[in-house]
Amino acid sequence: MKVTVTTAPSAGVKADALVLGVFDKETATGALKKLDATLKGALSRAVSAEAFTGAAGQSLSVHTQGALGAAVVHFVGLGAKTGANADTLRRAAGNAVRLVKKSGAASMALDFATLKVKGVGVDEAAQATVEGILLGAYTFDRFKSDAKKPRLATAQVMAEGDESAVRHGVKKGVALAEAACWARDLVNLPGNVATPSFLADEARKMARSRKIKCTVLDPNGIKKEKMGGLMAVAQGSHQPARFIILEWMNGPKSQKPIVLVGKGLTFDTGGISIKPAANMEEMKGDMSGGAGVMGAIRAAADLNLKVNLVALVPSTENMPGGSAIKPGDVATSLSGVTMEIINTDAEGRLILSDALAYATRYHPDCVVDIATLTGACMVALGNLCSGLFANDDTLAAQLTGAGEATGERLWRLPLWAEYDEFIKSDVADIKNVGSRWGGAITAAAFLKKHVGKETWAHLDVAGTAFSDSVKGYLTKGGVGVGVRTLVRFVEDRTGVKG
Ligand code: BES
Ligand code: ZN
Ligand code: ZN
């Protein structure tokens, strides 16, 4: 979809559909009264006939009979004004774009950026609106024989007065949403297509057109580096593993890089500790963390952020092949830590151990990993937020703040030293599962063993990487979780804005 900016007023803007946001119980503001007069009272009549109040999720469509530049006005409810934030606009834009799409319109105009939301600047409002439009309109239909190109092809973001701020926000929103949609594609692609080598090829292609440096280790390189965790998980699969390194060194030489690490399991059967059949197909999305960091570095480059940023993605399948790892096997991580593999389904932490150890070579400012790591995190937090673990309070606060701004909320869980007891092994330094309880935390405790003294945080996105419903700007399947939040975090941490 093409997104443009217009300074035309509501009554004059030319589009098949005009979308106006309305806060709860604010159906008769000055601007709406004026519009109502132009529409000869059609708006106020529809409001009372359909009991439209502006509650979140409500919508009201009024045909303008030629009274306005747009054929139809869709009023969309934003909910209560108090407590509204950028995500209110993002969600409403997502809902609105599907409403317009369904109506068969070819063009739309949205008047969201000019809404006054407390604490949200005009540029940020425009950015959130565009993110909502592009993410909400996302579909994955490349395997549908009858897929049709949607009619809706253009969206105009309306800017009365603040054109340059809106333009800046729109540009940013496009870069971030396109990167997140790219990550969604990678997640939604089936495991037989999106193999580790495919993921690496996609990374290479993405990097080439953006002056991002891309290095890919194949099984020989992985062996040479002694990445024992990645090798162990990969040995049961016919698909060769990859270790993807992306570097966007666009900041001052003196600035330590931020290193992002993403779990790149292109399919997780569980291995010999095989998973039950129900919903196993969702495990094609076990590379969501990897897609998230690849999307984040792509967006950072598109925004030309003057920062030093690295993304690392260890990638493999987890299969129960004849040479697969067995419960009781011991592997040695690149970190030097020996790991007893009690359960082959706890494979994410094994491949992340090497990537985290590799990250320390950059002498980073900080390391942030993102992974669909544990079902236990889903049990603890559901799908409304991701789990956050950190060995540094400032880092945790920055990530939480970034998640608040992007609508990808994070909730911190503890990393107390006592949890380390649960992953002590009788035969090796550590084992890859703890007791039955606190599984998300013992997984994080396992990762902690490989980061040395680095400032580090871990995001467990098992519950948030995949959406089972269409809601706001979320569509079914991959979410592209982390892309927007990690970029926002990098901006906040470095103070460098795109
Ligand atoms: N990829 C899974 C975690 C997962 C579960 C992601 C559900 C998304 C949705 C991970 O590799 C895994 O299988 N973890 C095990 C760990 C256990 C064996 C300690 C789990 O959570 O059951
Ligand atoms: Zn697993
Ligand atoms: Zn997994």
Q: Is the dihedral of CA 198, 308, 168, 95 positive or negative?
A: positive
Query: What pLDDT sits at residue 479?
Result: 98
pLDDT digits (tens, 9 = 90+) for 279-334: 999 999 999 999 999 999 999 999 999 999 999 999 999 999 999 999 999 999 99
Q: Which residue has the tokens 């703890």?
A: 434
424 CB-near residues (< 8 Å, 6+ apart): 430, 431
Pick among 3.40.630.10, 3.40.50.300, 3.40.50.10800, 3.40.47.10: CATH of 181-494:
3.40.630.10
Banded model confidence at residue 246, pLDDT cuts 50, 70, 90:
very high
Q: Can you tell me which residue has the tokens 């998230």? A: 292
User: Please, which pLDDT band fits residue 469 given cuts at 50, 70 and 90?
Assistant: very high
Tell me the CA–centroid distance for residue 441 and ligand 1, in Å: 13
Q: Count Cβ atoms below 10 Å from residue 25 Cβ, excluding itself.
A: 11
The per-residue pLDDT for range 207-237, each reduced to its tens digit, is: 999 999 999 999 999 999 999 999 999 999 9
What are the CB-based long-range contacts (under 8 Å, 24+) for 467-474? 467/383, 468/383, 470/98, 471/91, 471/94, 472/90, 472/91, 472/92, 472/94, 472/95, 472/132, 472/136, 473/90, 473/91, 473/93, 473/94, 473/131, 473/132, 473/135, 473/136, 473/407, 474/94, 474/135
**CATH number listed for the domain at residues 2-159:** 3.40.220.10
Give the residue, by CA position, lying nearest to ligand 1 atom 17: 346
Q: At 338, is the secondary structure helix, strand, or coil? A: strand
> 326-375 pLDDT, tens per residue?
999 999 999 999 999 999 999 999 999 999 999 999 999 999 999 999 99
Question: Mean pLDDT throughout 80-107?
Answer: 97
Lowest mean pLDDT among 116-120, 236-240, 356-360, 402-406: 116-120
The pLDDT mean for the chain works out to 97
Query: Has residue 31 got a pLDDT over 90?
Result: no
Q: Which residues of 347-364 are buried (b: 16+ CB within 10 A; e: fewer)?
A: bbbbbbbbbbbbbbebeb
DSSP letter string over 202-224? Answer: HHHHHHHTTT-EEEEE-HHHHHH
> Over 90: is that where the pLDDT of 161 sits?
no
What are the residue numbers of the active site?
Answer: 275, 349
Rounded CA-CA distance 182/195 in Å is 16
pLDDT of residue 144: 97
Which ranges in the chain are annotated with CATH 3.40.630.10?
A: 181-494
The ligand minimizing its distance to the Cα of 265 is 3
pLDDT band at 116 (very low <50, low <70, confident <90, very high): confident
Give the residue range(s) of CATH 3.40.220.10 domains in the chain.
Answer: 2-159
How confident is residue 124, by pLDDT bands cut at 50, 70 and 90?
very high
By the 8 A CB rule, do 460 and 369 touch? no
The rounded Å distance from CA 375 to ligand 2 centre is 9
pLDDT of residue 89: 97
Ligand 1 atom, smallest distance to 377 CA: 21
Looking at the predicted structure, is the pLDDT value of residue 160 above 90? no
* Rounded distance between C-alpha atoms, residue 476 and residue 469, angstroms: 5
Beta-strand pair 242-249/107-111: unpaired
